[in-house]
């Protein structure tokens, strides 16, 4: 991915619905290993902006 938001890290995930998505991201953000890793000093300024986009699969897609 390129463009004006470089550098960036993009997660592309799929879920049944928004509630399913929210539950999975909550589980991820509460994971003890993630909490330990994300709290390390060397990573404190690695994320400057979060953007969330919701895309909907079209009937002709392979999803």
Residue 55 lies in a domain: no
- How many domains does one find in the chain? 1
Residue 15 lies in a domain: yes
Instruction: Using a cut of 0.95, tell me whether the model's pTM lies above it.
Output: no
Q: What is the DSSP string of 1-63?
A: --STT-S--------SSHHHHHHHHHHHHT-HHHHHHHTSGGGTTS------------TTS--
Q: What is the mean pLDDT of the chain?
A: 86
**CA distances from residue 63 to 1, 13, 50, 57 in whole angstroms, order as listed:** 21, 11, 25, 7
* Residue pLDDT, tens place only, 3-51: 777 777 788 888 989 999 999 999 999 999 999 998 999 988 887 778 8
Residue 60 lies in a domain: no
Residue 59 lies in a domain: no
Rounded CA-CA distance 63/57 in Å is 7
* Residue pLDDT, tens place only, 46-58: 877 788 888 888 8
Residue 36 lies in a domain: yes
Residue 6 lies in a domain: yes
Q: Which domain holds residue 15?
A: 1-42
Residue 29 lies in a domain: yes
């Amino acid at each position: 991915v390129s463009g004006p938001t470089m550098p960036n890290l993009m997660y592309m995930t799929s879920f049944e619905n928004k509630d399913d998505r929210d539950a999975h991201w909550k589980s991820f953000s509460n994971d003890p290993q993630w909490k330990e890793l994300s709290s390390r000093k060397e990573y404190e300024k690695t994320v400057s902006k979060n953007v969330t986009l919701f895309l909907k699969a079209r009937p002709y897609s392979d999803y």
